[in-house]
Amino acid sequence: MESLLDILNKVDSVVWGPFLLIPLLLGTGLWLTARLKGLQFRKMIVAFRHGLIDPNDPTGEGDISNYQALTTALAATVGVGNIVGVATALALGGPGALFWMWVTGLVGMASKYTEAFLGVRFREEDSTGHMLGGPMKYLKKGIGGKLGGGLSLAFGIFAVIASFGIGNLTQANAVATAMNDAFGMDTHATGALMFFLIGMVLLGGIETIGKVTSAFVPLMIIIYILGASIVLIVNAGDIPGAFALIFHDAFTGSAAVGGFAGSSLLLALQLGVARGIFSNESGMGSAAIAAAAAQTNHPVRQGLVSMTQTFIDTIVVVTFTGLTIITTGTWTMGASEAGSMTAEAFSRGLPGNWGGTIVSISTMFFAFSTIVGWAYYGERCLIALVGMHGSLPYRMLFTCVVFIGAISEIQIAWVLADVANGLMAIPNLIGLLLLSGFVAKETKDYLDFDPKLRETPTSVAEFNARHIPEWS
C-alpha cells in the first residue's frame, strides 16, 4: 500500500502542480468571467433573490425545484473540505492560502454558472422520465464529434471514481471520527447507522435527496456560522491583523511561527487552489448534474442560482473557518494537527466543550450531506455510461462502501480523491473553454430580454420558441 500511496502522491503533485490544473482552473475562471462580462458580480443580488426568495418555476421541466437543486449541490460541496480542508491548507500553506481560496471561489462562480447553464441546456430525459444532464451530456452534445465523445467518456469515468473518494470514503470516515469524538460512538456502529440512513435516502431517488437536503443543509450551515461568529467576536481585536496576514502572505509566503514550518508563495497558491476546488467544486462539473434536475424555464435562471452555491461555500463558510483558525492562532499547530485545528480554534472561543462539540456535529452533518449529494452525481454519471441497469448496483455498492469508509484507515482515499477530482475537472474545463462563446451569446440574449428574472413563464416560453426552439 505504501508504494501505491507514493505513486498516487506523485500523480497528485503533477495534476495539482503549477503547470496543469492550477493555471487551467484559474485561467478558465478568468476567461469565463471576461466572456460573461463579470456576470457573477453584476447579477449576484438577482441570483440570490431568484434562488432563495422568488417562487420556483413550476411550469419548467425538471424533477426538483431550483432551490432543492441548489441545496443538493450545496450538500455535496459543503463538507469536510470546509473544515479539515481549510485547516490543511493553512497548516501547510500558511494564512495566504485563504486568499487563493477566495480567488478560486470568485472566478469559480463564472465556471459554476457556465457548467450549470450547460447542464440544463443539454439535459434530456432518461428512460424513467427523470432529467439526465451534466458534463457527460453537454460535452458530447455541445462539442460533438470524437473530441466531445472522448471528453464526455473521460469525465464520466473519473466522476464515478471520484464519487467513491471525495463523496464517500473520506466523508464516511469523517462522520465516524466526529461521532466518536463527540459521543464516544464506536465506528462500526456509526458505519451501520450510516449504511441504513444512506440506503433509505437513495431508495427515494433525487426527489427524496432534494427534500432531505433542502431541510437540513441551511440549518447545518447556520449553526456552524453562529458558532464561528462567537469565536470571532471573542477575538475581534485580532481580525484586522488576520486580514493583513492573509493578504501579505498570499504574495510572499509565510515565515515560520510557533509549530508552523513556513511556506512559499507557490505552496500557498497551490494549496489554496487545490483546497478551494475541493471545497466548492467549481470547474469540476459535478454541480451541473444537480442543476440539470431543476425545474426551470431557462438555463440562465438555474445557472445564476447555481453560482450562488460557490459564494456560500467559499466566500462565507470557508472564510469563517479560516478566520477562526487564524485569529485564535491554531494555524501554527503544525500539519500533523490539521485534523483537530478547527475544533481547537472553536474551543478557544466557546465555553466548556461546546467548541469541539459544534465542530464534531458540523463535520458529521457536512460529511453526511456530501455523501448524499455525491451518491446522486455518481449514479447519474454511471447511467450516462452504461444505461439505467447500472443504477441499482451502483446504489448498493455505494451504500456498502459507506460502511467500509467508517471503519477503515483511509489515508490513501484522500490522495485518490484529490487525483480523481483533478482528472474529472480537466475534460470539463476544456469543454467550458470550447463552449464559452455559445454560453456568452445565449446568456446575453436572455438577460437582454429578462435582466431581473421577472418575466412570466409564458413570456419565457415565447422567448425560447424564438431563440432556442430545440431547447426542451
Is 232 among the domain residues? yes
Domain that holds residue 335: 37-468
SS3 label, residue 124: strand
Apex 266 CA angle, 331 and 245, nearest 5: 40
Residues 260/84, Cβ–Cβ less than 8 Å:
no
- The Cβ of residue 16 has, within 10 Å, a number of other Cβ atoms equal to 22
Q: Three-class SS string for 230-290?
A: HHHHHCHHHHHHHHHHHHHHHHHCECCECCECCECHHHHHHHHHHHHHHHHCCCCCHHHHH
Quick one: how far is CA 78 from the chain centroid? 6
Is 100 among the domain residues? yes
| Total tally of structural domains belonging to the chain | 1
Task: Cell numbers for 438, please give them.
Answer: 455559445
Rounded Cα distance between 176 and 14, Å, is 31
CATH number reported for the structural domain that contains residue 274 in this entry: 1.20.1740
Is 95 among the domain residues? yes
Is 20 among the domain residues? no
Residue 102's pLDDT is what?
Answer: 93
Task: Cell numbers for 177, please give them.
Answer: 471520527
Closest by CA to 330, choosing from 82, 88, 79, is 88
Interval 239-290: pLDDT, tens: 999 999 999 988 887 766 666 666 677 777 777 887 777 778 788 898 899 8
Rounded Cα distance between 231 and 249, Å, is 23
Task: Cell numbers for 303, please give them.
Answer: 445557472
Is 29 among the domain residues? no
Residue spans of the chain under pLDDT 70: 1-2, 55-60, 63, 255-263, 335, 410, 468-472
Is 13 among the domain residues? no
Is 309 among the domain residues? yes
Residue 2's pLDDT is what?
Answer: 62
- The Cβ of residue 237 has, within 10 Å, a number of other Cβ atoms equal to 8
pTM value?
0.90
Residues 288/91, Cβ–Cβ less than 8 Å:
no
H-run or E-run covering 203:
helix 187-203
Is 250 among the domain residues? yes
Rounded Cα distance between 288 and 432, Å, is 12
Residue 469's pLDDT is what?
Answer: 56
Closest by CA to 227, choosing from 342, 118, 334, 370, is 342
Rounded Cα distance between 76 and 135, Å, is 17
Rounded Cα distance between 163 and 157, Å, is 10
